[in-house]
Amino acid sequence: MLNISDAMTSFERNSIRSNDSTLEDHQVKIIKAPDFLTRTLYPMTTTASVVGIKFNNGVAIAADVGGYYGSLNRFKSLDRLYKVNNNIVMTTTGDYADFQYMRELIQQKVISEEILDDSFSLKAFSLHTWLTRLMYNRRSKFDPLWNNVIVAGYDNNGPFLGIVDKLGMSYEDSCVATGMGGYLATPLLRDVFERGKGNLTKQEAHAALQKCMEILYYRDTQSLPKVNIYDFGPWSFTNCFNKNKIEPFRFLSDELYLYYSAKQFLLALLYLFNFFFRQAVD
């Protein structure tokens, strides 16, 4: 008759042989479970700078239409200026996938507001505050949304222009810019705004935005010469949103654009040739 101790001894021997012949007595084999929780560390498709400025009883905002893999201009027709409602537009600089995620969240928020049917609609200041909480919440989870957000709009209190970064820091200003525009375009916008004593016309505001986007194209490697501009004012209450959208403009002709693109390509080839030549000599 087989007693319990003999059965346990034979079971332990068989289990050690079946698991791993290299395991010794009292050795524990640890099997790690796969890590299902992933976070964005390196955004894939990114977008370039956005600039905005207030003018007399209104606000204007401009962004190009490019999407980039690093410095490669992969997508040439991304419309990043998202209409929230008839009086608010939102756009971002950074990871385009995170922008799409935020856009879906805001769409659900707008639907929830409309379901109430209480004659109130989402305002630019409210959306700006809500985005501040959203970005700070994701940052606190060590899983930030890799975007800097600009919110522009118009309501009974006048024009609104605010910015929120990926850490949840936010502020309102008369002229804002994201990305490299924060270094290159902000001084130009503030100079134009101060020279106009805060009473710019719509045409002056558009000219300032076009000038800033042109400078960003020449100085920033992530920018296209094709730009969309939206503006808001008292007319936004009566006119449809599409009338606020200005047709994309180009500050370079197609011939000049091809010339600068070919020039940059040849310079890149020259750099690579120089690099490999030095490697071969050394």
Active site residue 38: no
| Residue whose C-alpha is closest to residue 253's, from 225, 227, 229 | 225
Q: Which of 9, 40, 201, 221 is catalytic?
A: 40
CA–CA distance, 123 with 160 (Å, rounded to integer): 9
Q: Which of the residues are catalytic?
A: 40
